[in-house]
Structure 1
Amino acid sequence: MAVNDDKINKFYVAINHYAEEQRKKIEQEIEAFKKKELEEAEVDVLTEAYRLIQKEMAEMRNGIAQEMAQREMNVRKELLSKRRKIADEVFERAKKALSEFTKEKGYEDLLVKKAKILSKTFRKPGTVLCIRKEDEQYKELIQKAFGNDCEFRISDDIHIGGILAYNSGMGIAADETLDAQLEDQREWFEENSGLAVV
């Protein structure tokens, strides 16, 4: 019986030894699995964190770009407003100077010159010459310089002075007013004044 006990004992030892090896093997597999899963989870977390950081950075860059664009637009608007104000002041002074000029002798000469220029184009009857109320005193002078048949009308659209002519029969009109000539100078002023907004 001692032999049997010894065999049973050896059997138990062998089983325990085998079970211990299996337990260690399973623990190692579990540890390897945990390590692999942890590494994968770590990679996933880092990847997600990277994506989140990139997204946040892109949103920040977009926000900064939009803010800078808005600021630039506001500065441009302000500069355009200042430029317009300066141009308006310059043209208001020019308008006053031209209005003062209409009270001088040189203005009569200018009206004669304008009438002669218009007479070269408006040769047919039916021509209407528009002048401002203040220039009615020059009708005879203008008529003589124009030399052709014409009718005079007072125009509220002429503020500074000069002559506006049209002939419905010919289908043409010409603006030789100081108002139009001053307004024509706006584009030149904007290009050459050095007040460009870039």
Structure 2
Amino acid sequence: MAVNDDKMNKFYLAINHYAEEQRKKIEQEVSEFKQRELDEAEVEVLTEAYRLIQKEMAEMRNGISREMAQREMEGRKELLAKRQSITAKVFERANNALIEYTQKSEYTALLKKFAAELSKTFTKPGTVLCIKKEDEKYQELIKEAFGKDCTFKINPDIHIGGIRAYNSQMGISADITLDSMLEDQREWFAENSGMAIV
């Protein structure tokens, strides 16, 4: 019976040893499975965090770009308003200086010169010379310099001075007023004043 007990003990030992090995193997597999799952979860979490960080950074960059564009646009608006204000002041001063000039004796010489220039173009009768109300006193002087038959018309659009002419028969008109000459300087001023907005 001792042999049987010994065999039985060996059998139990073998079974216990096999069970222990199986238990260790299962624990190892479970541990490896857990580690794999943890590694995959970690990679997934890191990937999601990276995406979230990239998204946040893109939103921040877009927000900064929008803010910079807004500031630049506001800066340009301010510069444009300043430029318009300076231009208006410059042209207001020029306008006032020209009006003062029309009060001087040199202005009559300029009106004669303008009338003589117009007479070269307006060669047929029926020419109408437009002047401002304050220049009515120079009609005879202008007519003499024009040298041809003409009529005069007071034009309320002429504020500074000079002469506008038209001849319906010839189908032409000309404007050599100080008003239009000053207005023509606006484009030149914008290009050459150094106040360009870039």
- Whether TM exceeds 0.5 here: the answer is yes
Tell me, in whole angstroms, the C-alpha distance in 2 between the residues paired with 1:119 and 1:43.
93
The residue number in structure 2 matching 1:87 is 87
For 1:65, the aligned partner's letter is S
The offset of 1:5, in angstroms, is: 3.8
Change (3 A) 1:176 1:40: same
Matched with 1:185 is: 185
Q: Which amino acid aligns with 1:74?
A: E
What is the alpha-carbon distance in structure 2 between the residues aligned to residue 4 and residue 168 of structure 1?
144
Superposed, 1:104-143 pairs within 5 Å as: 104-143=104-143
Structure 2 counterpart of 1:70: 70
**How far is the alpha carbon of 1:39 from its aligned partner?**
1.1
Equivalent-residue separation in structure 2 for 1:89 and 1:64 (angstroms): 37
Alignment CA distance shift 1:88-1:20 (3 Å): same
TM-superposed deviation, 1:78:
1.0
Q: How far has the Cα of 1:114 moved from its partner?
A: 0.8
User: CA–CA distance in 1 between the matches of 2:175 and 2:118?
Assistant: 9
CA distance in 1 between counterparts of 2:31 and 2:127 reads 108
What displacement does 1:138 show?
A: 1.1
Aligned residue for 1:174? Answer: 174
Structure 1 counterpart SS, 2:58 = helix
> For residues 168 and 3 of structure 1, what CA distance do their matches in structure 2 show?
146
Report the AA paired with residue 90 of structure 2.
V
Which segment is superposed worse, 82-91 or 8-17? 8-17
**Letter of the structure 2 residue corresponding to residue 36 of structure 1:** R
Q: Deviations over 1:22-51 (max 9, x none)?
A: 111111111111111211111111111111
Distance 1:6 1:81, change over 3 A: same
* Letter in structure 1 aligned against 2:188: W
Aligned to 1:53: 53
Shift of 1:182: 0.7
**Structure 2 match to 1:6:** 6
Shift of 1:142: 1.2
> Structure 1 stretches of 5 or more lacking a match?
none
Tell me how far apart the structure 1 counterparts of residues 57 and 2 of structure 2 sit (CA, whole Å): 80
User: For residues 169 and 55 of structure 1, what CA distance do their matches in structure 2 show?
Assistant: 75
How far residue 196 of structure 1 moved from its aligned partner, in angstroms, is 2.5
- In structure 1, how many angstroms separate the alpha carbons of the residues matched to 2:165 and 2:6? 138
Q: Identical aligned pairs, as a percentage?
A: 73
CA drift at 1:2: 4.3
Distance 1:136 1:129 in 2: 11
Greater shift, 167-176 or 77-86, is seen at: 167-176
C-alpha RMSD of matched pairs (Å) = 1.6
Distance, in Å, in 1 between the alignment partners of 2:173 and 2:4 is 136
In 2, Cα distance between equivalents of 1:73 and 1:16: 83
- How many residues of Structure 1 are paired with residues of Structure 2 in the alignment? 198
Partner residue of 2:21? 21
Separation (CA, whole Å) in 1 of partners of 2:20 and 2:149: 130
- The residue type equivalent to 1:119 in the other structure is S
* Separation in structure 2 between the aligned mates of residue 119 and residue 183 of structure 1, nearest angstrom: 24
How far 1:133 sits from its partner (Å)? 0.7
